[in-house]
Structure formats: C-alpha cells, structure tokens
C-alpha cells in the first residue's frame, strides 16, 4: 500500500479529534472506497463514521483489496504533529508491524516515522442510512463558540428546534441560560404522528469535542424520534459523522 493525501491539515484535525474519543486503539481501513474509520469511542457513547474518498489522495495504490491497520490514535496524532506539511504519505507492506509515514516540510526537510501497529478488538459495525425528521445547517464557528460558552455553566445542553430557530439551553449552579440562533437553515420532514418541534438533551463534553474539530465551515445537526443524534461534517471528498443517543431527561 502506498498513498499520499492532498490535504494533510484536515487529516490532522480528524486524528486529533479521534484521539480524544478513542483513547486506546482504533482501526483505519483502506479499500476501493478510500480511507475509512468506523469505531465506537472508548466509553461506548459515540459511534464514529469517517471516510476520505480516493479523490482526496494524490496517490492511492493498494496491493490487496483491503488493508486494515490498528493504531494508537494518541501516538498517531503525535507523529502527524511533527510536520505541518499539507501532503502526508503512508505506506505499508503486508506482514510487517509498521506503518511508514512520510511528512515532507520542503525539499530540504523530510520526516519519516515508522509507526508501530497495535491490536484492537474490532466489532463489526453496520451503519445504515437513517431518515431524520430535522436537519439543521449551521455555521461551524458560531455553533462551536456557543457550545464552548455554555460549557462554563453546566454539563448538559438542551437543543430545541422550532420554526426557523435553534435554541441551546443550559442549567447549572449559576442559573439558567440559553442561546437562540435564528440564521441557521432548517429542514423538516416530519412523519404525520410527529410534532413540528424537536427537543433533546445532550452531554456538553461530547458536543464540545465534535465542534472543536473545525473540519468545515458548516456542520449539519440531524435529529429524529427514536434514532441517534448525528453531528456531521461534509468534506470536499468525504465526511465525518458522530452518532450519539440523547440523554434521559431527569
């Protein structure tokens, strides 16, 4: 296997976010669809679905149909931080226990690191298409700042969507507060038995982790009755999705 990514910065941001969720080891897969990560976080709260399609690479050569590599994401993140190069090369020979990484700063500085592979108990995941009742398209920077601000006052965030507004609410020792955002684009596709308002409670820790990744200018929040909440970044050649169940209202 020998591949070279076009946009190393985006990939660094993805891995940086993953290492905060997958604190042990996770699996990356290379096949005809591209590079993908499908994993549950260490605490089994979040389902992660990421793909970078073949078009995201300057070079994408596989000697076999599929290559699966288990990596410690914290170590992976530390290696990628050795360079700010926009092009990241990765190569692997079947039967070896190393992933070779090439990070070329410029013609006079080339970094290579042979990263030791790890082992992981992999549970096969099947991520199916889900029909969502509400989709909110919102500015990533605005949402990230709102979530960060609310995190100072509590640990849980209620997200309410009604009409053309999305409201983020928090309750804590300092009192109750909310941020209402009216410039988001909201799509509704309710079933006949559902109401035109959606409200759910989420752990602010995870909303913070998702939003600080900053992988695109816009994020998509997807809600539905009886299905996991989805936080999605749409990339030029792929996507990163985080699925999480809402918290019970006490």
Fold designation for 134-244: DNA Polymerase III; Chain A, domain 2 (3.10.150)
Q: Are 46 and 242 in contact (CB under 8 A)?
A: yes
CATH class name, domain 2-116: alpha beta
- 143-165 pLDDT, tens digit each: 999 999 999 999 999 999 998 99
Token representation of residue 16: 């940086």
Backbone torsions φ then ψ of 135, nearest 5 degrees: -125, 125
pLDDT in the model for residue 124: 59
pLDDT in the model for residue 191: 59
> Which part of the chain has CATH 3.10.150.10?
2-116, 134-244
| pTM for the full predicted model | 0.92
Span 197-219, average pLDDT: 94
Q: Sorting pLDDT into bands at 50, 70 and 90, what band is 246?
A: confident
- 84-143 pLDDT, tens digit each: 888 899 999 988 999 999 997 666 788 999 999 998 766 656 677 888 989 999 999 999
Q: Sorting pLDDT into bands at 50, 70 and 90, what band is 79?
A: very high
pLDDT in the model for residue 194: 56
CA–CA separation, 151 and 66 (whole Å): 41
- 23-61 pLDDT, tens digit each: 888 999 999 999 999 999 988 999 999 999 999 999 999
Q: Are 111 and 104 in contact (CB under 8 A)?
A: yes
Span 5-32, average pLDDT: 93
């Amino acid at each position: 296997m020998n591949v070279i990514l076009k946009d190393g910065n985006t990939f660094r941001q993805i891995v940086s976010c993953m290492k905060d969720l997958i604190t042990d080891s996770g699996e990356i897969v290379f096949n005809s669809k591209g590079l993908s990560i499908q994993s549950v976080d260490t605490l089994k709260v979040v389902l992660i679905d990421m793909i970078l399609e073949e078009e995201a690479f300057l070079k994408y050569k596989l000697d076999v149909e599929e290559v699966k590599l288990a990596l410690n994401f914290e170590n992976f993140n530390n290696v990628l931080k050795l360079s700010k190069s926009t092009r990241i090369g990765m190569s692997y020979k079947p039967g070896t226990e190393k992933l070779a990484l090439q990070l070329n700063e410029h013609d006079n500085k080339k970094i290579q690191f042979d990263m030791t592979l790890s082992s992981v108990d992999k549970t096969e995941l099947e991520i199916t298409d889900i029909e969502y009742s509400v989709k909110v398209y919102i500015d990533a920077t605005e949402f990230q700042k709102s979530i960060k601000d609310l995190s100072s006052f509590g640990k849980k965030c209620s997200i309410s969507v009604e009409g053309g507004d999305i409201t983020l609410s928090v309750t804590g020792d300092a009192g109750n507060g909310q941020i209402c955002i009216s410039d988001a684009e909201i799509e509704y596709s309710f079933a006949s038995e559902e109401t035109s308002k959606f409200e759910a409670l989420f752990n602010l820790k995870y909303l913070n982790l998702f939003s600080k990744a900053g992988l695109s200018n816009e994020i998509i929040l997807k809600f539905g009755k009886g299905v996991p909440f989805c936080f999605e970044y749409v990339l030029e050649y792929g996507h990163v999705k985080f699925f999480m169940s809402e918290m019970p209202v006490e």
